[in-house]
Amino acid sequence: MDRKTLFAELKKLPWVLPAFLVAGFLVGAGAAVARVWRSGDWSLGLWRLSIHTVTTAINYSLYGALTIATVLLAVTLAQILIGRTAKAGLRTATGVFLFYPTFFLALWLFVNQAVQAFHLETHKMPHLIRKNDDLYEFFQEYLLSYLNFASLRSLVTDQAQWIFPSLFLAVLFGVWFDRFTAWLENRWRRWRAGRAAAATKSRRWIFTALLIVTGVTTLLVNIAAKAADLTNREPRPNIILISIDTLRADRLGCYGNPRARTPFLDLLAKNGVLFEETISNSSWTLPAHGAMLAGVQPTALGLLRVTDRLSPKALTLAEVLSENGFDTAAIVSYILVSKVYGFAQGFDSFDYEDSQPAAKAVDKAIAYIEPRQMHKFFLFLHLYDAHWPYEPSEETSRAAWPYNINPDIRHLIDTGDFAQYALRVIQGPKILNDYSLAMYDGEVADIDKELGRLFRYLIDKSLIDRTVIIVTSDHGEEFLEHGLFGHGLTLYEESVHVPLIMRFPHLLPAGVRVKGQVQSLDLFPTALGLLGLDPSRYALDGRDLLFSIASENVDALPIVLETSMSGDPRYALRNGVHKLLTPFSLDFGHGLQVQKAEEIYNLAEDPQETVNLAPDHPKMSEVLQAEMATQMNAIRTRWGVGEKLSRSQALSAEEVERLRSLGYLN
């Protein structure tokens, strides 16, 4: 080929690159619109997420188009240099490129059909065969992921054993594609022979306009994405608040328990924020959930005994979110968090079923979320399984207690009355407590498994990254650390140290462990902060922890804890270093009486609360008593004694029997 002809052929190629860029932009824009429409981000007002979705899709598609055009031009140029025309070279180069998606499509169809026809077990087969469920994922891994120069280079260097032999087949396919398309072109020309061609000039203007629109739009989209990075947080994600009843923090792997079987909660903590020292404001369900969902100290709420109810005058998290356009729903599993206790305030949907298992509650949660993927919602999910009676699944029970059920244990579990159960554990051999703790851990493992199912659902529906997930508990459980069993009677750490894990990647960093004590009262204002709402507009006793997370440390403000489930109210002050516990006495009958004088513990040096400092440090006692009095006076000055935020109501016979069996009534 002479020089003049060579340059004439080369002049036919410049349109290839801009044409592919325009096509790449259109494909990326179409994919972006589909993703935004499917995710519902735009309708939810999540502008930043929508902008990032559009930008990512368009940039990815443009980069792929640039790679394809460059490869086609290189292959075509090589053919022109050996004497072929630009048109024939482009046809052959296109055929070489199309060989790979054609081959992978045929391979996927063959493998997919073979697996279904012969019911093949693919888990031990090569990865190329195992990845046969979803065509898009298959193409993404084996084709689309290589549409950039860096991946192409690694493909040639790392996969040379198959990429070079495949090129021989691709060239053969390209030659056939050239001949086939040339034949089709001739047929087309004959059919169009008598028709006038459109003016070349008008075609050029259309193509130029498309190219300009592509460039300007791509530039604007990227500018918008950069601006979104610099703006404040998105105000309208979904929120799921999960309260795992009776879950003490130290039974989770992420809180340092090496024997815990909680992989999904541990993974949530790894990808979110964990507060190492979260303290519940009470050690039993009713006041603890009042503090959590109403954001007010239990004393101020007036939730002191099982006859107390949350007043309609109390403001709940659900009410605030409902006023701000959220669909609100609760799925609860225990009478003390039910509608009769006032906790349905603000919820559009309130599902209560006493003692329902976590599997059923998670099924209901998924059923609630499924039709609301295009709406912002608040879901409060209360799981009861970790509460007594400890009855994990059979498989989990065998794993948690691989030993024989001896007569002592059989006698222990053959009761439906918590008081009898607790007395047998307290007064019986150590194996009874060991068995109880093992079954309790089994319940926690079962809950973790069901939450994993919920998290996988959120991932599959692309909801996980636009949903604030908060996991916590109302209180813990005692297993004879201080001679008692159960909860609600004391305010030791095993009863009040609860987990608090939050995940929302657009605002919260991954893998952060925040030091310093926080309390259940902080949950309400922090949830509002994460949702872009202003907590200062509401009368709340806690604080927004959002701005303390970056420093991974929270200033320890004094916390007042309280319980009055059995007998007179008992209080504790926890100031981050020391803990003061007021005196109390309990009479369980059956020869079991507990009398405790005032207790002071140095939590920094004695986290297990084994050495009471009160008898030998009267000055410390005076200082801590004064600090507690200051805190209590501030609460009473602000709220009174709870008459306005609670109401009393007599229990029905059924409620009395249910609460008595669980140890809430004598």
Report the pLDDT value the prediction gives residue 194, as an integer from 0 to 100: 52
Query: How big, in percent rounded to 5, are the helix, strand and coil portions of the chain?
Result: 55, 15, 35
Mean pLDDT of 287-303: 92
Quick one: what percent of the chain has pLDDT higher than 90? 45
Q: Which of 6-20, 257-271, 297-311 has the lowest mean pLDDT?
A: 6-20
Asked if the model's pLDDT at residue 632 lies above 80, the reply is yes
In sequence order, the 6+-apart residues with CB closer than 8 A to the CB of 547 are: 529
Report the pLDDT value the prediction gives residue 11, as an integer from 0 to 100: 76
Calculate ∠ Cα 414-419-424, nearest 5°.
60
For residue range 376-396, list pLDDT tens digits in order: 999 999 999 999 999 999 999
| CB contact burial 218-239 (16+ within 10 A = b; e otherwise) | beebeebbeebeeeeebebbbb
Report the pLDDT value the prediction gives residue 235, as an integer from 0 to 100: 46
Q: Which residue has the tokens 């003049």?
A: 4
Give the Cα separation of 622 and 626 in Å (integer). 6
- Please report, for residues 128, 258, 359, 463, the alpha-carbon distance to residue 460 in angstroms, rounded to integers and kept in the order given: 22, 30, 18, 8
Nearest alpha-carbon partner for 80 in 69, 70, 91? 91
The pair of three-digit structure tokens given for residue 386, joined into one six-digit string = 């970790």
Q: What is the pTM of this model?
A: 0.67
Nearest alpha-carbon partner for 493 in 505, 509, 475, 514? 475
Q: What is the DSSP letter of 664?
A: S
Mean pLDDT of 474-485: 95
Mean pLDDT of 267-277: 96
Q: For the chain, give the number of residues.
A: 666
- Are the C-beta atoms of 25 and 31 separated by less than 8 Å? no
Report the pLDDT value the prediction gives residue 199, as an integer from 0 to 100: 44
Mean pLDDT of 264-293: 96
Phi, psi (5° rounding) for residue 605? -100, -20
* Sign of torsion over alpha carbons 73, 79, 80, 81: positive
Residue 470 bridge partners (DSSP): 241, 502
- Count of other CB atoms within 10 angstroms of residue 534: 10
Side chain identity at residue 665, one-letter code? L
Asked if the model's pLDDT at residue 228 lies above 80, the reply is no
DSSP assignment of 47-101 equals: HHHHHHHHHHHHHHHHHHHHHHHHHHHHHHHHHHHTT--HHHHHHHHHHHHHHHH
- Are the C-beta atoms of 612 and 601 separated by less than 8 Å? yes
Cα 283 to chain centroid distance, Å, stands at 26
The pair of three-digit structure tokens given for residue 16, joined into one six-digit string = 């290839």
- Are the C-beta atoms of 301 and 352 separated by less than 8 Å? no
Report the pLDDT value the prediction gives residue 233, as an integer from 0 to 100: 40
- Count of other CB atoms within 10 angstroms of residue 499: 24
Asked if the model's pLDDT at residue 503 lies above 90, the reply is yes
To 10 degrees, the CA torsion angle through 18, 23, 29, 35?
-140
In sequence order, the 6+-apart residues with CB closer than 8 A to the CB of 217 are: 25, 29
- Count of other CB atoms within 10 angstroms of residue 57: 21
- Count of other CB atoms within 10 angstroms of residue 352: 19
- Please report, for residues 7, 146, 577, the alpha-carbon distance to residue 52 in angstroms, rounded to integers and kept in the order given: 43, 22, 45
Phi, psi (5° rounding) for residue 381? -115, 115
For residue range 48-103, list pLDDT tens digits in order: 667 777 888 888 888 888 888 888 888 878 887 877 888 888 888 888 878 888 88
Give the Cα separation of 216 and 607 in Å (integer). 62
Side chain identity at residue 278, one-letter code? T
Q: Which of 14-23, 159-168, 384-393, 623-632 has the lowest mean pLDDT?
A: 159-168
Report the pLDDT value the prediction gives residue 615, as an integer from 0 to 100: 94
Nearest alpha-carbon partner for 472 in 319, 664, 316, 275? 275
The helix or strand, by DSSP H or E, that contains position 173, with its residue range, turns out to be: helix 160-191
Band (pLDDT 50/70/90 cuts) for residue 436 is very high
> Measured between alpha carbons, how far apart are the two ends of the chain, in Å?
104
The helices-and-strands tally (H runs, E runs) of the chain is: 22, 19
The pair of three-digit structure tokens given for residue 371, joined into one six-digit string = 């039709």
Nearest alpha-carbon partner for 573 in 612, 608, 624, 636? 624
For the chain, the maximum distance between any two Cα atoms, rounded to a whole number of angstroms, is 112
For residue range 615-625, list pLDDT tens digits in order: 999 999 999 99
In sequence order, the 6+-apart residues with CB closer than 8 A to the CB of 126 are: none
Calculate ∠ Cα 208-213-217, nearest 5°.
155
Bigger pLDDT: 372 or 358? Answer: 358
Asked if the model's pLDDT at residue 551 lies above 60, the reply is yes
